[in-house]
Amino acid sequence: MDFQSNNIKRLVVFCIMLVTVVLYLPVYEFKYINFDDYDYVIHNPYVRNGISLEGLVWALTSSDHANWYPLTWLSHMLDVQLFGLEPGGHHVTNVIFHLMNTLLLLYFLLKATGHFYPAALVAILFAIHPAHVESVAWIAERKDVLSAFFFFLSLLAYWWYVQKKCMSRYLLVFVSVTMAFMSKPMAITLPFVLMLLDFWPLGRVALTKSSIKNDLTVLVIEKLPFLMLVPLLGVMTFLAQQDSGAMTVGDLFSLAERTQNALVSYARYFGKAMYPVGLTVFYPHPGLWPLSKVILSGVLIFIITLLTVLLYKRKPYLFVGWFIFLGTLVPVIGIVQVGAQSIADRYTYIPYLGLFIMLSWGIRDVVNYSAFSRTLIFTIIFGWLIAFWVMASTYLSYWKYDARLFSHTLQVHDPGYEAVLKGKSIERSVPFGLAFMYSNLGMSLMEVGLYDEAEVHLLEATRIFPQHFKPYYNLGLVYLKTGKYQKAREYIVHARKLSPEHSAEFDKDLESLDRIISEN
């Protein structure tokens, strides 16, 4: 069989598209997740109205959900315009973007390197990796797939510009980069990725000391317009997060805890790229990690970094891939902590590209220059990809209903969860962030009328993190629905004390509740 024939390559591309579509086909029947989805779409009056001038102005000026991403809001509005509020169409849009991202990535790597099969392996790893399920199956993560679309479009436009430098091609790069920024602030690292591509595969930096200095100066100047956008977006994101209070929970962690977690997180992300088990929608921040894990993580990162630098001349793809992985994770690695999570699968959507490049071109070198049996290597890769597909499909099934998703998260991270379900809350040390999962699950159970189960989970949330107002407020709603009006009032009053900034909303609830109590 001639593996270099165009027909075989077309068949490979078709197979990549097919396995991606088959993997994510079930999402059409998935529901909204009670974890940002409702806030982004159902409860957002601007999004609910579809495309409008008022919505456009709001999208361009809004800092809702602690970020500025107007294109993401506009894409949600367009979905409502096309599909209404039924979640199926919104889910399908995410899948379409994920499929386009896979093909754009494949096309860019093929054009930039001239190597089809390593590029195809990167593309299929990107398409079916279990950690990417979160970005595709979660409507609220439209910002991930949309930003990646413009991210990969920027890479392709940049390659096109390098082939023939002219202002029109340069402007296309600038527009693509800007649109990636306007989809998700995490794209702030894109100009630095373009610099890495100058080393490999574009080869715009010669490997002599004088040439590196001269070439780098020219290339940095070339990217100044992109780099000027970075601090602007950074300031806007910081202000948005401050305005929304997103950093309030993160402020509970000391600088030492955040620094340790950042180091361990790099190692955890690396491990989950190769062995993606125990994936969940939320990974609670543990505070201080055991010193042994911090040291081992630091040693691992240092050794890999040193090896990629030492092997740069012989294997430049290792250097570039590794620093794409390290660099694109910087905005979300947790030094500036937003929320109570330790890591998040959605943060790997772009960064894993670097590891996939290292792996794919490394396999190419092994196949070309080693005595290992090619048949054995291809069999191992094929088996590995099948395992990834099955793992992704299994994890995807948890996203069909939010109660199943949150319950799975608690089963993975809370050793006492089974006891809680039996009404026997045991003394144990768990990260306070799990209170958010208990609270979210309680709300999901309440919405389907399972009030007793909702009460159990919400009470556990108050035990784990008694300073957080939401579980108390949600308990108040549960007691209101079950006719326990005095108890409902007690919990809402307590929630008001914990969160005076929401006092106006709580006062309305209390007024309504007082009327109900007086009538009864």
Residue pLDDT, tens place only, 469-483: 999 999 999 999 999
Q: For residue 154, what pLDDT is reported?
A: 98
If asked whether residues 466 and 393 sit together in one domain, one would say no
Please give the average per-residue pLDDT across 345-350, as a whole number: 98
> Taking 90 as the threshold, does the pLDDT of residue 229 lie above it?
no
Higher pLDDT, 379 or 101: 101
If asked whether residues 334 and 456 sit together in one domain, one would say no
Q: Would 204 be classed as within a structural domain?
A: yes
Percentage with pLDDT > 70 across the chain: 94
> Taking 70 as the threshold, does the pLDDT of residue 239 lie above it?
no
**Domain final residue, candidates 351, 371, 400:** 400
Maximum mean pLDDT: which of 158-167, 203-212, 427-436: 158-167
> Taking 90 as the threshold, does the pLDDT of residue 429 lie above it?
no
If asked whether residues 389 and 450 sit together in one domain, one would say no
Please give the average per-residue pLDDT across 69-87, as a whole number: 96
If asked whether residues 334 and 412 sit together in one domain, one would say no
Q: Would 1 be classed as within a structural domain?
A: no
**Domain final residue, candidates 400, 417, 452:** 400
If asked whether residues 325 and 218 sit together in one domain, one would say yes
Q: For residue 230, what pLDDT is reported?
A: 80
- Angle at CA 468, nearest 5°, toward 463 and 471? 65
> Taking 80 as the threshold, does the pLDDT of residue 338 lie above it?
no
Please give the average per-residue pLDDT across 342-349, as a whole number: 97
| Residue 9's pLDDT band (cuts 50, 70, 90) | very high
Q: Would 514 be classed as within a structural domain?
A: yes
If asked whether residues 442 and 354 sit together in one domain, one would say no
Q: For residue 158, what pLDDT is reported?
A: 98
If asked whether residues 218 and 310 sit together in one domain, one would say yes
Please give the average per-residue pLDDT across 153-175, as a whole number: 97
283-299 tens-digit pLDDT: 999 999 999 999 999 99
If asked whether residues 469 and 491 sit together in one domain, one would say yes
| Residue 249's pLDDT band (cuts 50, 70, 90) | low
Q: For residue 233, what pLDDT is reported?
A: 73
Instruction: Read off the amino acid at residue 168.
Output: S
Q: Would 361 be classed as within a structural domain?
A: yes
pTM over 0.85: yes
Q: State the total domains in the chain.
A: 2
89-119 tens-digit pLDDT: 999 999 999 999 999 999 999 999 999 999 9
Q: Would 146 be classed as within a structural domain?
A: yes
> Taking 80 as the threshold, does the pLDDT of residue 15 lie above it?
yes
User: Residue 510 sits in which domain range?
Assistant: 402-519
> Taking 90 as the threshold, does the pLDDT of residue 189 lie above it?
yes
Rounded Cα distance between 69 and 51, Å, is 16
Q: For residue 417, what pLDDT is reported?
A: 93
If asked whether residues 84 and 142 sit together in one domain, one would say yes
Higher pLDDT, 278 or 205: 278
- Three-state DSSP at 284 gives strand
| Residue 247's pLDDT band (cuts 50, 70, 90) | very low
Rounded Cα distance between 47 and 44, Å, is 5
If asked whether residues 376 and 440 sit together in one domain, one would say no
> Taking 80 as the threshold, does the pLDDT of residue 77 lie above it?
yes
> Residue 501 maps to which CATH number?
1.25.40.10
Rounded Cα distance between 433 and 412, Å, is 14
Instruction: Read off the amino acid at residue 385.
Output: L
If asked whether residues 165 and 183 sit together in one domain, one would say yes
> Taking 90 as the threshold, does the pLDDT of residue 335 lie above it?
no
Rounded Cα distance between 299 and 306, Å, is 10
Cβ pair 454, 462 in contact under 8 A? no
Tell me the average pLDDT of the chain: 91
> Distances from the Cα of 432 to the Cαs of 282, 370, 444, in angstroms?
12, 50, 20
Q: For residue 319, what pLDDT is reported?
A: 97
The alpha carbons of the chain give a radius of gyration, in whole angstroms, of 25
Q: For residue 250, what pLDDT is reported?
A: 57
**Domain final residue, candidates 352, 383, 400:** 400
Higher pLDDT, 67 or 489: 489
If asked whether residues 304 and 183 sit together in one domain, one would say yes
Cβ pair 188, 198 in contact under 8 A? no
Higher pLDDT, 121 or 335: 121
Rounded Cα distance between 493 and 510, Å, is 8
Contacts 24+ apart (CB under 8 A), 468-472: 468/432, 468/435, 468/436, 468/439, 468/498, 469/495, 469/496, 469/498, 469/499, 469/502, 470/436, 470/439, 470/495, 471/435, 471/438, 471/439, 471/442, 472/498
Q: Which of 40-44, 212-216, 221-225 has the lowest mean pLDDT?
A: 212-216
If we measure between CA atoms, which residue out of 244, 222, 226 comes closest to residue 179? 226
Cβ pair 135, 345 in contact under 8 A? yes
N- to C-terminal Cα separation, the chain: 82
Q: In sequence order, what are the residues at sequence separation of 6 or more whose Cβ sits closer than 8 angstroms to the Cβ of residue 188? A: 181, 230, 233, 234, 237, 331
- For the record, the structure tokens of 455 come out as 């009460």
Higher pLDDT, 334 or 262: 262
